[in-house]
């Protein structure tokens, strides 16, 4: 098959010319527009998730030969989580070439973290099937760039870190309250407050409830650690 102009441009952006163009076409096809003759990217996403995990595991071991499993695991999670994959997908304009059904387009599918992250994993799998592991590895390392070297030494989820901070001081786990949700359905904004038993609280706003909770937890933990220095 011949790739459309937008997919040819995308292929150039990621630096991989497909010998089997149908793999790329499938990688960008969402289930909302699939048919018996137009398979979606879900199986590729399943494979790409595993390829990404192997590449990142190897890269982290190489980057820090002295790190323990307890240090490596949170770094790994920070690099492969859906939000990071979506961030990378936006940088290469993946949302612009996704093939979506009308309902998914109207709901802002091209901007959704979950959809973008899944599609990026599908693209990784497509490269793997097209040219092998080394090509997929080169793609991942190139797209993630300095994220691997710059990943926080302690990349634990800020909610987990805040909970551990509270537990170490005999406090119950922090509570999270959704204060509001506004904006259009396809691009909502959540406002969340996190509060500790001692009354300390922080509020944050983000495009997903989970991201708002993480931002609020990060802000509160930073304030608590500075207060106790």
Pick the catalytic residue: 40, 121, 202, 213?
121
Pick the catalytic residue: 40, 45, 49, 104?
49
Q: Is-contact 11 24, C-beta < 8 A?
A: yes
Residue-by-residue DSSP string for 69-118:
HHHHHHHHHHHHSHHHHHHHHHHTTHHHH-B--HHHHHTTGGG-HHHHHH
Closest CA to 197 of 212, 175, 176: 175
**Angstrom distance (rounded) from CA 32 to CA 105:** 9
Closest CA to 10 of 74, 133, 83, 93: 93
* Residue 121: active-site member: yes
* Residue 182: active-site member: no
Catalytic residues: 49, 121
């Amino acid at each position: 098959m011949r790739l459309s102009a937008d997919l040819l441009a995308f292929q150039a952006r990621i630096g991989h010319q497909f010998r089997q163009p149908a793999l790329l076409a499938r990688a960008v096809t969402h289930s909302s527009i699939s048919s018996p003759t137009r398979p979606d990217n879900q199986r590729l996403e399943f494979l790409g998730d595993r390829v990404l995990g192997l590449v990142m595991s190897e890269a982290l071991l190489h980057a820090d030969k002295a790190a323990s499993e307890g240090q490596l695991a949170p770094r790994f999670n920070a690099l492969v989580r859906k939000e990071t994959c979506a961030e990378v997908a936006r940088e290469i304009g993946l949302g612009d070439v996704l093939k979506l059904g009308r309902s998914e387009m109207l709901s802002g599918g091209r901007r959704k973290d979950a959809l973008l992250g899944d599609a990026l994993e599908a693209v990784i799998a497509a490269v793997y099937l097209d040219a092998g592991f080394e090509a997929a590895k080169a793609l991942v390392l190139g797209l993630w760039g300095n994220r691997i070297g710059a990943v926080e030494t302690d990349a634990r989820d800020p909610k987990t870190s805040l909970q551990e901070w509270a537990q170490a001081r005999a406090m119950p786990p922090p509570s999270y309250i959704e204060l509001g949700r506004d904006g259009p359905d396809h691009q909502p904004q959540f406002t969340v407050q996190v509060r500790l038993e001692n009354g300390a609280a922080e509020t944050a706003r983000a495009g997903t409830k989970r991201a708002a909770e993480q931002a609020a937890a990060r802000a509160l933990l930073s304030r608590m650690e500075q207060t106790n220095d």
